[in-house]
């Protein structure tokens, strides 16, 4: 039957991904589908991309509170936090990923979706989204058209492009 029961939303924490999360949540509510949020842990992220995280002020505060407990120093940007000699980058991107997924899950619940799960996984971005979609039996993947990167001129980022090309289920690209 052509019904949407389980929606997988992928977020990198960018504004466009956040729009995808909100749209997926509203759609899921309307069709009474469950939602799984997936964030693939960031690797090799450039400084300018770090500063494109949505709600970055809140993220900087909550992430530095975990990776640098008890330190009074306040970081003004993610980039600033990442450049601190005291932080472990691996731990920082993992904690950041948990915050991104948690914030997205909260938003989906606030919109009124009852069954919401979240996952944070390491790996290749698109490959991991595709693998998790298969694993959970998602019948729709929702992604943003762009993410944290800024190769201007491109309509789709490389991650959303690969997902559209390779997914076995339907894909909604939020523009
Ligand atoms: N690490 C990630 N975890 C989960 N979803 C992601 C991740 N990276 C990208 N996405 C999803 O893919 C969408 C498009 O992002 P994409 O990375 O393709 O664009 P970009 O960052 O603008 O370009 P590029 O990465 O090619 O420089 C995002 O809105 C998000 O839905
Ligand atoms: Mg990207």
Atom of ligand 1 nearest to the CA of 9: 31
* 147: pLDDT strictly greater than 90: yes
What is the rounded CA–CA span in Å between residue 11 and residue 56?
Answer: 14
Q: What is the pLDDT of residue 1?
A: 58
Number of domains present in the structure of the chain: 1
* 153: pLDDT strictly greater than 80: no
What is the rounded CA–CA span in Å between residue 103 and residue 97?
Answer: 10
Residues whose CB is less than 8 angstroms from the CB of residue 127 and which lie 6 or more positions away in sequence, other chains included? none
Is 1 inside any structural domain? no
* 113: pLDDT strictly greater than 90: yes
Question: Where does residue 126 rank: exposed (0-12), middle (13-18), buried (19+ CB within 10 A)?
Answer: buried
Is 81 inside any structural domain? yes
What is the rounded CA–CA span in Å between residue 121 and residue 38?
Answer: 8
57 three-state secondary structure:
helix
Tell me the CATH number at 49: 3.40.50.620
What would the pLDDT profile of 156-165 be if each residue is shown by its tens digit?
A: 999 999 999 9
Question: Where does residue 112 rank: exposed (0-12), middle (13-18), buried (19+ CB within 10 A)?
Answer: exposed
Is 15 inside any structural domain? yes
Kindly give the distance from the C-alpha atom of residue 148 to the centroid of ligand 2, in angstroms, as a whole number.
Answer: 5
> Residue 120: which domain range?
6-174
- Work out whether strand 116-121 and strand 140-144 pair parallel, antiparallel, or are unpaired: unpaired
> Among 54-63, 73-82, 98-107, 137-146, where is mean pLDDT lowest?
73-82
Is 76 inside any structural domain? yes
Kindly give the distance from the C-alpha atom of residue 12 to the centroid of ligand 2, in angstroms, as a whole number.
Answer: 7
**Best residue for ligand 1 mutational test, from 12, 48, 148 (most atoms within 8 Å of Cβ):** 12
Q: What is the pLDDT of residue 154?
A: 82
Q: Grade residue 69 by pLDDT with cuts at 50, 70 and 90.
A: confident
Is 35 inside any structural domain? yes
What would the pLDDT profile of 10-19 be if each residue is shown by its tens digit?
A: 999 999 999 9
Is 104 inside any structural domain? yes
**What is the mean predicted confidence (pLDDT) over 73-95?**
88
Portion of the chain with pLDDT greater than 90, in percent: 75
Is 114 inside any structural domain? yes
What is the rounded CA–CA span in Å between residue 6 and residue 53?
Answer: 26
């Amino acid at each position: 039957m052509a019904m949407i029961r389980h929606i997988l939303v992928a977020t990198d924490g960018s504004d466009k991904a956040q729009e995808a999360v909100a749209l997926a949540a509203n759609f899921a509510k309307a069709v009474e589908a469950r939602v799984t949020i997936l964030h693939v842990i960031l690797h090799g992220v450039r400084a300018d991309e770090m500063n494109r995280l949505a709600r970055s002020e809140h993220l900087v505060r909550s992430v530095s509170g975990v990776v640098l407990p008890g330190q009074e120093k306040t970081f003004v940007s993610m980039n600033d936090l990442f450049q601190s000699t005291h932080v472990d980058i691996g731990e920082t991107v993992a904690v950041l990923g948990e915050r991104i997924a948690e914030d997205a899950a909260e938003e989906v619940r606030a919109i009124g979706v009852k069954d919401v799960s979240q996952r944070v996984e390491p790996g290749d971005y698109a490959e991991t989204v595709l693998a998790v979609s298969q694993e959970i039996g998602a019948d729709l993947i929702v992604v943003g058209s762009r993410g944290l990167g800024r190769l201007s001129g491109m309509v789709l980022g490389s991650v959303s492009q690969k997902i559209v090309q390779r997914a076995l289920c339907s894909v909604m690209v939020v523009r």
